[in-house]
Amino acid sequence: MPIEWTDSDPELSLRLDRAFGEPLRVQFERALRQSIQAGRLEAGERISSTRRLAAELGISRGLVVDCYTQLEAEGYLSSRPGSATRVGVGHAEHMPAVEARATTIRD
C-alpha cells in the first residue's frame, strides 16, 4: 500500500510504496530531490521536522534523518542545530539529478 504525504503546499506530495521493489529510503530521497528540482520547494523554504514527517508517513524517524542528512550533503537541504531544516539555496538548475544514494556511495 502506498504511503502519501502532502505538506501545507498542495503541490508537494511525496509518495512511498512499500510494495515497490525499491527501498523506502531511495524512494523518499528521490521524491524530495525531485520536488526541489521541479521548484515545488523553493530555496530557503522550511520543510517538516523529522519527527512530524516520520509520524505522518508511518516510517521511522531514523529513515527520515538519514535521508535529510544525505540531501544536506548533496546541497539540497540545509540545517543548523536548534533551527528548522530548509531547502538549500542555489540548488535548482545547478544541482545534478542523483538517481540513488547507492550510486554516490560507490564513487
In this prediction, residues 9-17 reach a mean pLDDT of: 64
Which tens digit of pLDDT belongs to each residue from 75-95? 999 998 888 899 998 654 444
Predicted pLDDT at 104: 37
In this prediction, residues 46-75 reach a mean pLDDT of: 93
Residue ranges making up the domain that contains 51: 2-106
CATH number of the domain encompassing residue 79 = 1.10.10.10
| Three state DSSP letters for the chain | CEEEEECCCCCCEEEEECCCCCCHHHHHHHHHHHHHHCCCCCCCCECCCHHHHHHHHCCCHHHHHHHHHHHHHCCCEECCCCCCCEECCCCCCCCCCCCCHHHHHHC
The total domain count for the chain is 1
In this prediction, residues 41-64 reach a mean pLDDT of: 91
Confidence of residue 52 (pLDDT cuts 50, 70, 90): very high
More confident residue, 93 or 30: 30
